Amino acid sequence: MAGLLEGKNILVTGMITDQSIAFNVAKLVQEQGGNLILTAYPRPSLVERIAKRLPAEAPVIPLDVTSAEELAGIADKVREHVGSLDGVVHSIGFAPQSALGGGFLTASWEDVSVALHASTYSYKSLATALLPMLGRGSSIVGLTFDATVAWPVYDWMGVAKAGLESASRYLATYLGDQGIRSNLVSAGPLRTMAAKSIPGFAKFEDAWVERAPLGWDLADTEPAAKAVVALLSDWFPATTGEIIHVDGGYHSVGA
C-alpha cells in the first residue's frame, strides 16, 4: 500500500533535536514514501547529526529565514536535489529572552522585531522564496500555539503566533488561485527545546494534562507530526487557511 506522501518532495525546516515536532514530521515523511529535504540554522552540523537518526539519508541545506540573501538562493540549492517541491513545513519560532517570561511591557521594539521577523514574517518569505518550485496541489504547513488567548509568560511570542495565524490565512488567499494550500497545526504544550527556552512555560502544563478531554502527553510530538503530514498529503485537497488543533481537545473546553 502506497504511503500518504509517496513520491512527493517535502522540505522541512526547524529540526534541531530528535524531540522536536520537525524531527517526527521528517521521520513520517520518509515512512510515508516522501523525499525529504532539510534546512538548518544556526548549526547545520548539528542537524546533520540528528538527521542520521532518520530512516534514510536526507540532504541538509543551511538557511537563515531572516536573511534575504539566503532566501534568494534557496530555490537553486533545493534544485540541486529535486526538481520541484510538493510541500513545505515551517517549524520556526524565535524570540529574545527579554520578549518572553513576563517581559511583555518592557521588551524593546528591537527585540520584538526579531521575534516577529523570525516567527511570523518568515512564513511568508519562505513560501515566496520557494514559490517557483511549488505547483498546483502543493501544501505549506506551519506550527502555531493557540493565539486566540493570552498565555502566561508567552508574551511577544504569542503576538508573533497571532500574526502567523493571520499570515497563513492571507497566504491561503493569495496562493489559492495557484492551487497551493496554507494551513497550520496548533499543538498543545510539548517539552521541546523551544518550550524549555521560555521561562515559566511549565506553569500551564499540569492544567493542560488535567483538562484536555483526551488527555495530553507533554513528551509525545507524534500526534502533531501526523497532522502536519496529513495536511501535506492529498487527503485535504480543499482545505486551506485552516488551523488544526492537536491539543487533546483543550481548546474546546472552558474552566
170 labelled catalytic: no
Check whether 14 is labelled as a binding-site residue: yes
The secondary structure of 216-233 as a DSSP string is --TT--HHHHHHHHHHHS
CA–chain centroid gap for 29, Å, is: 14
Check whether 180 is labelled as a binding-site residue: no
Residues 6+ positions from 65 with CB-CB distance below 8 Å: 13, 41, 71, 92, 118, 122, 125, 126
Residue among 161, 174, 196, 203 flagged as catalytic: 161
| pTM exceeds 0.85 for this model | yes
At 226 the pLDDT is 98
Grid cell, residue 244, equals: 488544526
Pairing mode of beta strands 134-144, 243-246: unpaired
Cα torsion angle, 205, 210, 212, 214, sign: positive
At 163 the pLDDT is 98
At 205 the pLDDT is 79
Residues 6+ positions from 193 with CB-CB distance below 8 Å: 16, 17, 19, 20
Cα separation, 215 vs 195, whole angstroms: 19
At 29 the pLDDT is 98
Give the three-class secondary structure for 73: helix
154 labelled catalytic: yes
CA–CA distances in Å: residue 70 to residues 11, 63, 100, 124, 188? 16, 6, 28, 15, 32
Ranges of the chain with pLDDT below 70:
192-202, 255
- What domains can be seen in the chain, in order of their start residue? 9-247 (3.40.50.720)
CA angle 223, 167, 47 (to 5 degrees): 50
Check whether 20 is labelled as a binding-site residue: yes
Check whether 92 is labelled as a binding-site residue: yes
Grid cell, residue 31, equals: 515512512
Beta bridge partners of 142: 90, 184
- Reported in sequence order, the residue ranges of the chain that DSSP labels E, i.e. its strands, are 9-12, 35-40, 60-62, 85-90, 134-144, 181-187, 243-246
At 207 the pLDDT is 83
Residue among 8, 41, 123, 154 flagged as catalytic: 154
Per-residue pLDDT reduced to its tens digit, 87-117: 999 999 999 999 999 999 999 999 999 999 9
Check whether 65 is labelled as a binding-site residue: yes
At 32 the pLDDT is 98
Give the three-class secondary structure for 235: coil
